[in-house]
Every structure is written in structure tokens, then in C-alpha cells.
Amino acid sequence: MAEILNTALLQAHLEWEKIEDNKALFERKIKELPQETDLIILPEMFSTGFSMNAQNLAEPHKGPTFKWMQKMAAEKDAAVTGSLIISDKGNFYNRLYFVYPDGSSQKYDKRHTFSLAKEDETYASGRDRLIVDYKGWKICPLVCYDLRFPVWSRNTVDYDLLIYVANWPAARIVAWDALLKARAIENMSYCIGLNRVGRDGSDLDYIGHSAVYNCLGKQISSNLQEKEFTELVKLDRQHLKDTRSQLKFLQDRDRFTVHLNEE
């Protein structure tokens, strides 16, 4: 069990629908990370930007970019996570992969597709939440718009770390900042939000504000940055355990079951 989880946030400008260019960018950034890195976080749709052009951009499940993630994970001996446009069994998905250093993986399909951008008309919604066990840490990875739905992220299983990978526009960045902090506090968990910067092919601007909050809602990453940057943040499991032992808020949580509406 790792008491310290060295987590790398890669906030970057994404080249619109240029898969190989984006992989090359992130490969350079990943190779520059220190060897003690445990977990590498990439944005939502990190190889393309937030595109609805799934017909032309989708890769098969465990296709070329997934294999590239495996290569990066093996080379750095670190887990790599981020989402891609995937075609699987007749549907398109905004699919997050969590790739372990040994090449094994787990997947999460974005549950809340963003209707304002008509994402729901292109991509099928996922049905299952994912809880990853990595180096003794229980991790719940989610995608962008999921951030607005606290029931879906509710910490009913004592996870230690909540992750949101995103393409969250500048126009609504105030909500991003507030909700990340809220998710950390209400779930008594570390919460990481990894966003992109730059302008996409739909003329939407992104200003990053990637951040890490501890279980009390204190920001433990650097000031909210609006440019391309990489940051390594140490997550302390003992601090999490001590705080939960002292403040037993999770013991008073409501017990409930989520019923999915598929209409």
C-alpha cells in the first residue's frame, strides 16, 4: 500500500481532432515526469478535443491510442488515465481508461453526456460507476459533466480519491472551481479536476484551473493556472485516514440506491 500517491496533472492545449499530434505532445510531457510518479492524469478526449465527429475519429475498444497509453504506463511504471472517443458494439462512447503499469486496464463510460453540446445525440451513456484499486488507494474516475451530479459521485464505498477529467469551458469556470471543492468536502475524499486550455474547433475557450483538493476542501495544488502546465502533487493517505477518524461525517451519510432512467 502506498501511503503517498505521486500524482501528475497534465493541463495542455489540445490540437483539434489531431490524434497523433496530441499523443506526441503528451508523450513528451510524460517522459519529462520524475520516475517516482505513480499516477498520470490526462484530459477528457485528450487525443482529439471535445468533438462530436465520432464517425471519423472513433477508435475501437483497446485500439491504437489505448495501446499508446499502455506504452506510456509501462515506460514510466505509472498508471495513466484519460478519456477517448471509442466505438464499441455499435455505439460511440466517451470512454475513460485507467491503465495500470503492467498493461491491464479498467474502463468507465461517461454517464452524463452533455446535452447542451448535443453529446447525448452522438455518444451513448455509461451505466456503471468504476472504483479502481491502485496501490491500496480506492479511486473513482469520472468525466467532465458528471461533476454537476453529486448523487453519481456520492462516496458510498469509502473511496479515497475522486478524479474528473474534463474539457470544461471558460464561460462556466466558476462552477468548475466551486463544484470540485464541494465534491471533496461532501465525500471526505481527495478530489482532482484535470481540465484543458486553449480554443477548440467549436470556438470554445478553455482556461484550465486544474486543481487538487484534500478531504477538507483545501486546495493543495498550485494556484489556479490558465496556461499549459504540468504539476506533481503528493496525496497523503495518512492525512485522509486521520481526518476521517477525527471527523466521522461519512458515518452519517444517507444510504440509497441509484436507479438509472434509460428513457
- Is residue 44 annotated as a catalytic residue, yes or no? yes
- Is residue 144 annotated as a catalytic residue, yes or no? yes
- Residue showing cell 470554445: 204
Catalytically annotated residue among 44, 76, 191, 215: 44
Catalytically annotated residue among 23, 107, 110, 181: 110
Strand partners, 164: 142, 193
Name which of 71, 78, 67, 21 is nearest 46 in CA terms: 21
DSSP characters over the chain: --SEEEEEEEE-BPPTT-HHHHHHHHHHHHHTS-TT--EEE--TTTTT-S-S-HHHH-EETT-HHHHHHHHHHHHHTSEEEEEEEEEETTEEEEEEEEE-TTS-EEEEE-SS--GGGTGGGTSPPP-----EEETTEEEEEEEGGGGG-HHHH--SS--SEEEEE----GGGHHHHHHHHHHHHHHHTSEEEEE--EEE-TTS-EEE---EEE-TTS-B-S-S---S-EEEEEEEEHHHHHHHHHHS-GGGGPPP--------
Q: Indicate if the alpha-carbon torsion angle 220, 217, 211, 6 is positive or negative.
A: positive
What whole-number distance in Å separates Cα of residue 143 and Cα of residue 27?
22
Q: Which positions ≥6 away from 129 have C-beta within 8 Å?
A: 108, 111, 140, 142, 152
Question: What's the length of the chain?
Answer: 263
DSSP characters over 128-144: ----EEETTEEEEEEEG
What whole-number distance in Å separates Cα of residue 11 and Cα of residue 193?
10
Catalytically annotated residue among 17, 119, 144, 181: 144
The pLDDT of residue 260 is 80
Find out whether 214 and 247 touch, Cβ atoms under 8 Å.
no
Pairing of the two strands 79-88 and 91-99: antiparallel
In order along its 263 residues, the chain shows pLDDT tens digits of 789 999 999 999 999 999 999 999 999 999 999 999 999 999 999 999 999 999 999 999 999 999 999 999 999 999 999 999 999 999 999 999 999 999 999 999 999 999 999 999 999 999 999 999 999 999 999 999 999 999 999 999 999 999 999 999 999 999 999 999 999 999 999 999 999 999 999 999 999 999 999 999 999 999 899 999 999 999 999 999 999 999 999 999 988 888 787 65
The CA-based diameter of the chain, rounded to the nearest angstrom, is 52
Instruction: Give the cell for residue 187.
Output: 465525500
